[in-house]
Amino acid sequence: MKQMQLTSDISIRRTVAEDNAEQLAAVKEIIRNVRLNGDAALLEYTEKWDGVKLETIRVEPYEMKEAVDRFDPQLLQDLSEAAGNIRDYHENQKQQGYKNIKDDGSYVAQRVTAIGSAGLYVPGGTAAYPSSVLMNVIPAQVAGVGRIVLISPPGKDGKLSDGVLAAAHILGIEEVYKAGGAQAIAALAYGTESIQAVDKITGPGNVFVALAKREVFGDVAIDMIAGPSEITIIADDTAFADEVAADLLSQAEHDPMATAVLLTTSQRLADAVSLEVERQLKTLPRQAIAGKAIRDYGMIYIGKTMDDLIDAANELAPEHLEIMAADAEALSEKIQNAGAIFIGRYSSEPIGDYFAGTNHVLPTNSTARFSSALSVYDFVKRTSVVYYSEQAWQQNEAKIARLARLEGLEGHARAVESRAWKKENGR
């Protein structure tokens, strides 16, 4: 891996696909086609890009049963246990509304209600992700979303992966469709003959998925525009080079544009990690993907103090941040910007991806400066409620009218004053 001294201008921010105009134009055409032609467009794109001719896009109950029957019972148990951990974590995010009642009988309140429907995109392509099913569906279920739809691109056999269908089965999701890419996002946003439009779309995907989510935002809600995976590791001389290298590669293997960064105060560790990454790459099944990511977006920065490393991590605001150093927990308290923080030697990032219970749908591209992990909060909305008693209106009507006229809004003032004549005349 490349090495350099840490400076104050460290950055990994990149736009989605560097705003590739050709890709964006293609996405807009796909969305237009799906809006005009519905299922026919989905079937056309599935044959063109996934290489499979489908008769129908909905997963039939027998397909899910066959997938579950084929699935390794131990893996089914593992997925079920992971689902339990994820549900336990997200149950703590449930919110209650509130009502503030005043002495005059008036009140202001907030009601928390679930959105009506959610469409959850699960990537296909170079890998299938049952864990993404768990991470997207469970927060929506805990929030109380009434209709949850799952959509994912089929394989060459015209089926979704057994793992994805097994995860859907564990969670009781029955509305599952076979479609991928920008066309799947368009179908969720605008509906087709088979798919009823949803209120919110969540889930990661490739650049076409990301661009499509950006295009449909406003007509439908989305979780975030996810970019390539990122990991940053803060480590000192107490860390083990082979473990640091393995954790860097755990994210590099996701995508050739994935970012893997080591921040360290130790030149010895930096040199050892560089060697370990190259050694471990030789036997990694996804060597081509991980190798390109390491070459293009892998970096080791050497700083003078741990505070320098903390400052750099906060500037990077990475998707995943590991701290493998003495006093790791104390150091973690200084982190303001990270999608998820993993503390100590035994908290390798994949633990969060699969089993700890925290959500692995995280902000990328330094958006952890202002964004959070997918959660129950993403599947609810908060509604303000106002009740003014007659007494409260009498006490405040003139004040409200004056404030309205201050802003030149006579209609506002008259609206609040319109009750006065009736009151004076006993009506």
Q: Which residues are catalytic?
A: 319-320
User: Are residues 111 and 383 in contact, defined by beta-carbon separation less than 8 angstroms?
Assistant: yes
Per 3-state DSSP, what percentage of the chain is helix, strand, and coil (rounded to 5)? 50, 15, 35
Q: What is d(CA 117, CA 201) in angstroms, rounded to the nearest whole number?
A: 9
Helices (H), 266-326: 267-281, 287-297, 306-316
Residues of the binding site for substrate: 229, 251, 254, 320, 353, 407, 412
* Cα separation values, 203 from 165, 290, 317, Å: 16, 22, 20
From the list 395, 416, 419, 394, the residue with the least C-alpha distance to 405 is 416
Residues of the binding site: 121, 183, 206, 229, 251, 254, 320, 353, 407, 412
Q: What burial class does residue 311 get, using C-beta atoms within 10 Å of its C-beta: 0-12 exposed, 13-18 middle, 19+ buried?
A: middle
**DSSP β-ladder status, 221-222 and 200-202:** parallel
Residues of the binding site for NAD(+): 121, 183, 206
> Whose structure tokens read 């006579």?
410
- The residues facing 178 across adjacent strands are 152
Other beta carbons within 10 angstroms of residue 312's beta carbon come to 20
| DSSP code per residue over 84-113 | HHHHHHHHTT----EEEE-TTS-EEEEEEE
**DSSP β-ladder status, 117-121 and 98-101:** unpaired
From the list 139, 131, 153, 243, the residue with the least C-alpha distance to 200 is 139
Q: Provide the total of helices (H) and of strands (E) in the chain, helices listed first.
A: 16, 14
Residues of the binding site for Zn(2+): 251, 254, 353, 412
Residue 11 phi/psi, 5-degree rounding, is -165, 145
DSSP secondary structure letter of residue 256: T
| DSSP code per residue over 13-33 | ---GGGG-HHHHHHHHHHHHH
Q: What is d(CA 420, CA 400) in angstroms, rounded to the nearest whole number?
A: 13
